[in-house]
Amino acid sequence: MVMDATTAALVVVDILMVLIIISTNIFAIVLIMKRSKKNSKNILLVSLSVSDIAIAVFVIPNVIFLKVQNSAISPVLCQICLYTEYMASAANVFSISTLAIDRFRALVFPLQNKDSKREVLYGAIILIWIFSLLYAVRAPVVYRGRMFLVGTGKNSTTVKYGCAVPESLLDLHSGFIVLDFILLFVIPALILIACNVKVSLQLSNKTAVSSAMPESVYKRRRRAVRTLLIMILIFIVLNFPLHYFRMARHVFKQSVSGASTIGHVFLILTFTNNCLNVFFYGLLNENMKSFCPICYKENRVAPTADSKTTRTKMTKITVPLSH
């Protein structure tokens, strides 16, 4: 199939997204498993990285395949591809929401969070993936076979194959689009807003910021506050267009010129969110930041007879802008 310039550009961006998401998230997982403590932030970050990798492995290649292929597609293959797409997308959003709640509990209710057992956290992660696997069952329920788009020109007829929703299930499909909007955007956005704003206020609380606090700690607090607020903005800005576009097309039945290209651009916005996840959540994770070789150098001080713990001093390295 000969692709036009727009389609080719979108496919190239998709491929770059796959490479970036896989490489950065594998790097994050290796760092956590090899060098970090298995605390709640790290365990949840691994779950988020796995869901990001699943999107890069299952979702984006499926988008590329449906965009460029022009041959008959097996109904079973169509259902499998869409099942993995919904599963990975749901797991990603649920992991982000769980991370926000865990961070909220750790700072606002430190004593209760400290006393909570690790089994509770593992249980939450298991529930995330079980619910995601169940949520994706909608794919084989709604998508049943192949769709033939026939465009008749003056001297030729164009046939394109793709996944189809039977006419009898269009209302059910529209209902799932609304459910996606609520469960995968509205509720997670509200959780991020509520938890991140509360944590930001806690970090900015004047009573928590004493005059004796080192300047470096104060600056880290300010950076954390900015990062938390930026994370809310990024999630909403990069995910809302796709959900609104799908609602407009399938629920409100609005006709959109160039719908395929517009929908693909909005998909790339959501993939961009997956590229940024590891950076923003790793930035808030003290262990991940500690092992960033470009930004910090770790000097370990041997324990003394009066101390049973090893203290770690973080010395910031100045990196030339040319790097």
Rg (CA), the chain: 23
Q: Is residue 306 part of a domain?
A: no
What is the pLDDT at residue 183?
Answer: 94
Distance between alpha carbon 126 and the CA centroid of its chain, in Å? 17
DSSP state of 71: S
Amino acid identity for residue 275 in this structure: C
Q: Is 186 a member of any domain?
A: yes
Q: Which domain holds residue 270?
A: 5-292
Taking the chain (323 residues) in runs of 10, the rounded mean pLDDT of each run is 77 93 89 68 82 90 76 69 87 90 78 61 88 90 60 55 75 91 95 91 66 66 82 93 91 84 90 85 55 37 44 39 33
Which residues is 297 bridged to in the sheet? 315
242 within 8 A of 269, measured Cβ to Cβ: yes
Secondary structure of 266-281 in the HEC alphabet?
HHHHHHHHHHHHHHHH
Confidence (pTM): 0.76
- Distances from the Cα of 207 to the Cαs of 55, 58, 108, 197, in angstroms? 43, 48, 14, 17
Residue 22's pLDDT is: 93
Which residues lie below 8 Å from residue 251, measured CB to CB, with a gap of 6+?
174, 177, 178
Which amino acid type is present at position 278? Answer: V
SS3 at position 307: coil
Residue 317 lies in a domain: no
Flag whether 192 is in a domain: yes
Residue 75: inside a domain: yes
- Contacts with 237 (C-beta within 8 Å, 6 or more apart), sequence order: 269
CATH number for the domain spanning 225: value is: 1.20.1070.10
Tokens of 119: 């089994």
Q: Looking at the domain assignment, is residue 271 inside a domain?
A: yes
Q: What is the pLDDT of residue 18?
A: 93
Per-residue model confidence (pLDDT) at position 245: 93
Q: Say how far apart CA 317 and CA 299 lie, in whole Å.
A: 12
pLDDT in tens, 75-94: 677 778 788 888 988 999 99
Q: Give how many domains the chain has, as a whole number.
A: 1
In a domain, 126, yes or no: yes
Q: What are phi and psi of 311, to 5 degrees?
A: -95, 145
Say if CB 151 and CB 157 are below 8 A apart.
Answer: yes
Rounded Cα–Cα distance for residues 90 and 183 (Å): 9
Q: Are 36 and 287 in contact (CB under 8 A)?
A: yes
Which tokens sit at 90? 């749901």
Tell me whether residue 312 is in a domain: no
